[in-house]
Structure 1
Amino acid sequence: MGNADEGVRLLQFIQLVISGLAQGCIYGLIALGFVLIYKATETVNFAQGELLMIGAFAGLFASTLLGLPYWLALLSAMAATAIVGFGLERVVLRPILGQSAVSIVMVTIGIGYMSRGLVTMLPVVGTDTHTLPVPFRGEVFHVGGVVISAEHIVIIATTIVLCALLAAMFRYTKMGIAMQAVSQNQLAAYYMGIPVKRLSSLVWAIAAAVAAIAGILLAPLTFIHANMGFIGIKAFPAAVIGGFTSLPGAIVGGLIIGVVEQLAGFYLMEGFKDAAPFIVVLAMLILKPNGLFGETMRKKV
């Protein structure tokens, strides 16, 4: 009897870890946007969660109004949200560059509030929740007694593919190498002939597209609504844990937050689930202030 109970508990633990990894991938993708923008512009974009929300609604409209299949709706949402991110950098952020960091942060917070307000004003959206039609909804796979939903598999697989594509871009393309140079030293990159302002806009576009992917992946789990962007608050600790200047660290931090959140929600008292990410951040700031993969060396090109 004891061995049977231990087996059930082990299966429960594995189930929670898998769910946590899937949720952590969402956090990691949002944190990836935080890190991309911070490395390129030294700006913290607190509207990253709202870009996720905009991307989710763009995918919903592409799927329901235009009748596009799931993957084409995903690509359409990425393109639409990338344009939004590009425009925000050009129209809103660029004119205030050089102002204090607090001013820029407040502007990004304001962008988030305005985005939620504008979305709720749309007649077909409002404050209702919406369901994104996905071809794999409800499918499950049984692996050694563990039940894995197709949604979780798609989230994890898509995150792996996206991270591989981003890594290849930063390593093998001229644009990626130029972005790395800008992230190290903007002034030196400018004197070397790198179009710093143009690359900053592209980074915002890429971060917005990544947020759109996170929104589409999250939609089958939590539905689509105007307040879904608040998930960005939990993704921010993921960026801090991984190191705010590390792209791999953003994903690792997201996975840590996702697993800790799931385990805390199941094994600890009610309320610890939402508090767990911030407890982990406090512990990280005490033990390793730069994060797991944070840079401690001086910037250089």
Structure 2
Amino acid sequence: MIEVVPPEAAGTRLDVFLAPIVGSRAKAQALIENDLVRVDGLAKQKRYSLLGGETIEVQALSEGPRPEVPPAKFEIAYEDDRLIVVNKPAGVVVHPGVGNREGTLVQALAGRVAGGNDPDRPGVVHRLDRDTSGLLLLARDEATMFALQEALRRRDITREYVALVEGRPPARRGTIDAPLGRDRRTRTKMSTDTDDPHEAVTHFETEQALPDDTLLRVTLETGRTHQIRAHLLAIGHPVAGDPEYGHAGRHGLSRQFLHAQRLAFKHPETGAPMELRAPLPEDLVKALRQASGERADQSV
């Protein structure tokens, strides 16, 4: 099925536009989420706001049974009645989205997380990319979700990452203040070369200088999609092993060397200071050893 978006539909959400065409909004969302909808040849989110004039191609939704997907693996770093901090391994998707409808973290935590306006993202205060490991904060009720989102907006939540990057930045510490948005040419990537820029600020500090790489400690001031990866590429030092923003396979890596190591915030109910750390996963420890040419300290 092919539809051309009329000019008067400009500003309409993609799922809303498709609803009367395919029979219901739920079916429209299912088609989008199963990667069966293309807008001018590109996959879009259900919230995508149409411009008018686009060509939408819709493939039929198979009614056959879906293959069973095993539940996501994770570790609980901290849990109480209000919130959960998860140590997420690489390879786990946080919430359902295009091409990832099953086997996500929030589905594995069903009944234990809640809050927010998006039923696909209950309790999700912030996100980590599929192949970024480390600490993730989730709420267990609406009030906690609101409080944590407000703390994030005020930049009262510290998110500290460890990243191994190619080469050596020109300064031991610095700030990358460069707006990010969808790349003009590769729409699946985020970039400073964009038509839709949004504020993005990343701070970094050298942790260890290696022969051909540098281990950085990185903190986020904002939380844009792929922010660290896109920002470090923008200054000429992509994350080691990054298949989208750098060079896959560096130092034997099967994913980007990026780990959310430290999370600090005030408990939304008690006000008590919270600080949690996640050890570097074994695949990153091995890559660090290879990059350094000697045994790396596993307590990094």
Q: Tell me whether the two structures share a fold, i.e. TM-score over 0.5.
A: no
Instruction: Pick the TM interval, shorter chain.
Output: under 0.3
- TM-score, L = length of structure 1: 0.23
Q: Which structure shows the bigger proportion of residues in helix conformation?
A: 1
TM-score (norm 2): 0.23
Choose between structure 1 and 2 for higher RCO, CA contacts under 8 A separated by at least 6 residues.
1
| Structure with higher strand content | 2
